[in-house]
Amino acid sequence: MQVSFACTEQTLRSRTSEDRLCPNRTSGGQNGGTGGQIKQRTPPLGTKNPNQVLPLLSHILRESTGKATGMKYRNLGKSGLRVSCLGLGTWVTFGSQITDEVAENLMTVAYQHGVNLFDTAEVYAAGRNQLCIQIKGPKILIRAEKTLGNILKKKEWRRSSYVVTTKIYWGGQAETERGLSRKHIIEGLRGSLERLQLEYVDIVFANRMDANSPMEEIVRAMTFVINQGMAMYWGTSRWSAMEIMEAYSVARQFNLIPPVCEQAEYHLFQREKVETQLPELYHKIGVGSMTWSPLACGLITGKYSESVPEKSRASCKGYHWLKEKAASEEGKKQHSKVKDLLPIAERLNCTVSQLAIAWCLRSEGVSSVLLGVSNCDQLLENLGSIQVLSQMTPQVIGEIDQILGNKPNIKKDSRA
């Protein structure tokens, strides 16, 4: 049975005042609000009382995030799931010298500003990559999923108004507590749901490929957890394009559920996969991109250009690799390029961080960019990148490419 993931441009344009993959207009009102009048589109043929239907639909879409915030929403790949173009990741937010109170404030501010996507994993702040926080005394071990679940339960937001994703691979020290066997996918997701205090997650990601597990077993297990109501969709994280295509082929062969999204690292200095491989998967099989580390673990912010600040991530235990990278020859070259981007950012009236995030958002097929922040000032600055998105013109992109000097060689196909 052949299934089509086609989502035509006409269909996307018929939606209300939300964002498409290549927006060419700015949000109305100050700070992306609704201060200006909204230009109504021509209603579909046969619609009764169009003046009442369109505003009502627009209200429903805004209400899903509490208020009209100027946040832009995109389909996750070519699925029907609508996610905020900026999501909040919990690797940094809940794991690096962050108290539960700060984590709750960050989630609240994000949700109030239209963020409806919260990403976590069974390994975050526990297991193999265990992180500690110091709060006026002994070290306290936290697990990101448990913290996220506690906050969601306390806030009592409507479950239908936000999207929670988690990743399965590293679950514990035992041999059966890691990998992508059917046993660990099912048991690992049950453990995540227990810590999150949720009946289901919206997306469960296979966090890296497992060479020890057959692809058919992985796809069947993901299909099972979806059919059991434990997840709505499934996706991949750090998989190659060939592995994603194999999963899709297995799903089509055995009438199973294919992945809808790939999580990939993407920033000014890491471009190849997201710009050359994933767009082809998006067009062919509808797999979208959810990207992470838009600021290259803080290197693009410029805070590591001279030295490593005391309370920065690179100064934390377990982040020696980041400290070494910042001081390496490659890191110094990247610092120099970030400085060269400053005049462009100043001309666009934004920070280099906002420029870098908006640059990620402009890429074809990117459904959402996950942010990692440790305080509200960083979060608000990053959210401001949405206002810069409309200024990502071909001329500006060309200037950035010239400075970076790392634009991938994209092969043109018949669609061009």
Question: What dihedral do alpha carbons 321, 326, 329, 335 form, nearest 10°?
Answer: 150
Picking from 277, 245, 266, 240, the residue whose alpha carbon sits closest to that of residue 409 is: 277
H or E segment at 246? helix 241-253
Name residue 75's beta-bridge partners: 82
Annotated active-site residue in 73, 111, 124, 304? 124
Let me know: does 230 contact 259? Beta carbons within 8 Å: no
| Residues near 163 by beta carbon (within 8 Å), at least 6 away in sequence | 81, 83, 87, 116, 117, 118, 202, 203
The DSSP letter of residue 177 is G
Active site annotation includes 124: yes
Q: What count of other Cβ atoms lies within 10 Å of the Cβ of residue 347?
A: 12
Cα distance between residue 149 and residue 144, in whole Å: 8
Cα distance between residue 187 and residue 16, in whole Å: 40
Contacts 24+ apart (CB under 8 A), 132-139: 132/317, 133/95, 133/96, 133/97, 133/98, 133/99, 134/97, 135/99
Classify 201 as helix, strand or coil: strand
Question: What six digits make up the tokens of 290?
Answer: 């959810």
Q: Which residue has the tokens 């990403």?
A: 119
Compute φ and ψ for 190, nearest 5 degrees.
Answer: -60, -40
Picking from 170, 91, 44, 176, the residue whose alpha carbon sits closest to that of residue 373 is: 91
With left for phi above 0 and alpha for psi between -120 and 50, is residue 233 left, alpha or beta? Answer: beta
Residues catalogued as catalytic: 124
